[in-house]
Amino acid sequence: MGKFTHTDEAVAHLSNGIDICYDTVGNPKDPALLLVMGLSGPLNWWSPGLCEVLASRGFYVIRYDNRDVGRSTALNDLGGKRLDLVRAFVNRRKAPPYSLDDMAGDAFGLLDHLGIQQAHVTGVSMGGMIAQTMAVIEPDRVLSLVSIMSTTGRRSVGWQHPRLIPMLLNGRRSDRDRVIATSVKTWAMIGSPAYPTPADETRERAAETFDRGISTTGVLRQIQAVLTQPDRTPQLRGLTMPTLVIHGLNDPMVHVSGGRATAQAVPGAELLLIPGMGHDMPRELWPTFADGIERTAQRTRAPA
């Protein structure tokens, strides 16, 4: 699939003072597809191979580093301590350093930078929460919505398995070898049992992620944004764009109840539950993801 144009990474200087690193795959004349990654995930977590598959379906694919990730702005002056997480968990009303609304604003700012008024939006995990927030804040700009292994913000759904909590709070990210070794263990815990990713592939991605830049406090700030997010269920009920919800039946990071609740909230949403899928996007399921994203986008052009 090497015929598709890959742009070099560039930086968008947004009006809110945030710099967002991004790249693109495909023809700029095709409909834009914005890919929003989850907690601590830089743009390289969207595999170039998957991006090419999506470009082959007629999309101009845009992937980017969220704030506090990779080569985008790290907001180190805004704190980010474990005690802040405890406070956020017990008191959702306590203001975090920034919110999912702010992160959705970054995404719209990137689209503005690229001169794109409307886009299809696909988000994974925390990225799904951001994608849902985008659809709620500016629904006219979101042509279609695909929310993968995510949740509505309601705490009674989409919970994490307790054994994962220590991993989420692990703050030792300054040693490259340690980060790589920890990544292999982490993805073995949360990945798809039916589609295991080879350890060598996980190590290679972890090394690339570390070299792009890891902010320990940045991850904690993102977790604060997740912990303090509102329950979007009432707002999701008002969405009218075509929506697909994908969730693995073996997801320990975001329980499948989060996906079910999202699909139940959005009128007319399609729910795709995948046996053997955990909290990752294995190569074997790329055609399934691409089919779903394409199918959902095509509904925007279908007659009422």
154 within 8 A of 250, measured Cβ to Cβ: no
pTM for this prediction: 0.94
SS3 (DSSP) at 52: helix
Does 4 reside within a domain? no
Reference 241, options 153, 109, 138, 103; nearest CA is 138
Would residue 115 count as lying in a domain? yes
Does any domain span residue 2?
Answer: no
For residues 94 and 110, which has the higher predicted lDDT (pLDDT)? 110
Does 215 map to a domain?
Answer: yes
Position 294 pLDDT exceeds 60? yes
Q: Please check the confidence at residue 87 and state whether its pLDDT lies above 80.
A: no
Q: Which DSSP string corresponds to 138-180?
A: -GGGEEEEEEES---S-TTSSPPPGGGHHHHT----S-HHHHH
Q: What per-residue confidence (pLDDT) applies to 1?
A: 47
Kindly report the CATH number assigned to the domain that includes residue 37: 3.40.50.1820
Of the listed ranges 91-105, 157-171, 176-190, 250-264, the one predicted with least confidence? 157-171
Top pLDDT among 90 and 106 is at 106
How far CA 117 is from CA of 81, 112, 113, 134, 138, in Å, comes to 37, 7, 10, 13, 11
Residue 303 belongs to some domain of the structure? no
**Is 195 contained in some domain?**
yes
What b/e readout covers 18-35, taking b as 16+ CB neighbours within 10 angstroms? bebbbbbbbeeeebbbbb
d(CA 149, CA 124): 6
Looking at the domain assignment, is residue 82 inside a domain?
yes
Domain extent at residue 229: 10-298
| 196 in a structural domain | yes
Domain total in the chain: 1
For 4-34, the pLDDT digits (tens) are 888 899 999 999 999 999 999 999 999 999 9
